[in-house]
Amino acid sequence: MAARTTPRGVDRVVGEQVTGAESIVRSLEAVGVENVFGIPGGAILPTYDPLMDSAKVRHILVRHEQGGGHAASGYAHATGKVGVTMATSGPGATNLVTPIADANMDSIPMVAITGQVAAPAIGTDAFQEADIVGITMPVTKHSYLVTDPDEIPRTIAEAFHIASTGRPGPVLVDIAKSAMQERTTFSWPQELALPGYHPVTKPHAKQVREAARLLATARRPVLYVGGGVIRSGASAALRRLVDLSGAAVVTTLMARGSVPDSHPQHLGMPGMHGTVPAVAALQKADLVVALGARFDDRVTGKLSSFAPHAAIVHADIDPAEIGKNRAVDVPIVGDLREVIEELVPALQTEQDRVGKPDVEAWWHQIDTWRETYPLGFSATADGHLAPQHVISRLGEIAGPDAIYVAGVGQHQMWAAQFIRYERPNTWINSGGLGTMGYSVPAAMGAKVGEPDRDVWAIDGDGCFQMTNQELATCAINDIPIKVALINNSSLGMVRQWQTLFYNQRYSNTDLHTGHGTVRIPDFVKLAEAYGCVGIRVEHESEVDDAIKRANEIDDRPVVVDFNVSRDAMVWPMVAAGVSNDDIQYARGISPAWDRED
């Protein structure tokens, strides 16, 4: 079946002659694009000329293509709209590979438009030529090469449709410079014919009824919620399912905020650095209902020992994910919102037939785990700040309406653990690919998409040095993000593994950024050089005032350099490749499950 397209804000003049470049800009206007993050270069330059005249598309000049890609991702994650990034050929395009791969892993709707050398030069190793379609094909939903200017409107319409439907993801549109320069008749497609692309959104009713039957009769049920719930906008429906089912619920790193942390049935995050109750509940469950999750290794630990007693219901928009890692008893293919909206009344019908499930003993066990193994941390021994304290205070002061965007590493895990998330789309991070440097540009994109919300980038000193040049973009374009720099003068997560698994041999993890008299760089001075406010915090008594001061500054970005202990570790922890049964609550402390069964 052909998909309808709805042009927005484009004058469709029959027979009007435009350049291919003008056609690109008109096409972006037609699909409703409001913001593009990009940087010009030779092959894309013809498009930048008419882009200057657009009254509908705002172009934000980034300082690096990777920053543009992550900004598009942050924008998409915060708003649910398709993020757009633009770059030139060759190195400009290859600098987008990392953010494209990142968006692919986390199912972020994104369109990357790249310039390519002129069509006659393709394949000749021309200056700044790279086969970006071939390079990105494994990490995109689809990649296009356009050499005919007549194909530009249809291709862009298809790209946005593919990026935003089914399982969202990145689409690349590579356009030859010659196609931008040639004349064409602009004609917006009235429908899209995409043979072979028919995402299934409506679930099979029989499978939904079977899932409802299992959920109505399970004694130890767990709802295992993944990022698909966020992508599908299913949080409100999920809340009704949680309340009706009486099941325990865990939210993965990508699903934080899909269920309020304040909900009494919410056990927190499962997996490598999840809460003990969340990990234990999955291990002891007799039913696991996976909703938009993919049984990745960071959640399952040693796969053969994951949830050994549980029947598995797996609902996902992507049929390739179902059964990929874990055998499934009830597979459900469909959009998560539609699945849950059908599962709720089906479960109510089953409960009317068999009664409410008997989960009293299950909740007694869970509450025992909660009381015995709460999230916490110890005071530092070296006099530096406890990073967990800094992040928890940030969450308390900035509040649940702020958006928090993390880099990758210890600070990412602490931000997932110690900030309480009460609504979807307030937690943004690089989950699947684990891309250092994600935080600052993604926070920039989130702030562009949600200008009325406070946006905090929670970054480590290692991640921050990869993409902090985008602070210049923020300062010049009036994008007042706030950066909480968790500065332990180290590559913290790598150092933690060196402590635990490499006999404290700290090979190449000291960054010299925060401890002692030498600070290279001095982040406060760096922030000021970028036109931002720089604040340094070294004592616990300064933490709250620094956060409050940063929240009060709205006319420029703020960087708060929190000097924290390098010896702080992320706990709980399931070491890579071991069973979740072997979770450590703290160093040398493991729960004794058998005594609690």
Can the peptide bond before residue 572 be classed as cis, meaning omega within 30 degrees of 0? yes
Q: In Å, how far are 175, 201, 264, 306, 415 from 14, measured between CA atoms?
A: 24, 35, 59, 60, 53
Residue with tokens 């700044």, as numbered in its chain: 128
Three-class DSSP labels, 223-261: EEECCHHHHCCCHHHHHHHHHHHCCEEEECHHHCCCCCC
Catalytic residue among 128, 181, 348, 465: 128
Catalytic residue among 254, 493, 569, 573: 493
Helix (H) or strand (E) holding 398: helix 387-398
β-pairing verdict for 3-4 and 191-192: antiparallel
d(CA 457, CA 407): 8
Burial status of residue 469 (CB atoms within 10 A of its CB: 0-12, 13-18, 19 or more):
middle
Catalytic residue among 177, 284, 447, 482: 177
d(CA 508, CA 571): 23
Catalytic residue among 16, 17, 127, 501: 127
The answer to whether residue 573 is catalytic is: no
β-pairing verdict for 311-316 and 287-291: parallel
Q: How many of the other CB atoms lie within 10 Å of CB of 577?
A: 9
Q: How many of the other CB atoms lie within 10 Å of CB of 185?
A: 14
565: Cα within 13 Å, side-chain hemisphere: 19
Cα 421 → chain centroid: 15
Enumerate residues 6+ apart whose C-beta is below 8 A from 542: none
The answer to whether residue 127 is catalytic is: yes
Burial status of residue 127 (CB atoms within 10 A of its CB: 0-12, 13-18, 19 or more):
exposed
The answer to whether residue 493 is catalytic is: yes
Q: How many of the other CB atoms lie within 10 Å of CB of 554?
A: 10
Q: Residue 490: which of 508, 504, 472, 505 has the closest Cα?
A: 508
Catalytic residue among 22, 29, 37, 65: 65
| Residues assigned a catalytic role | 65, 127-128, 177, 493
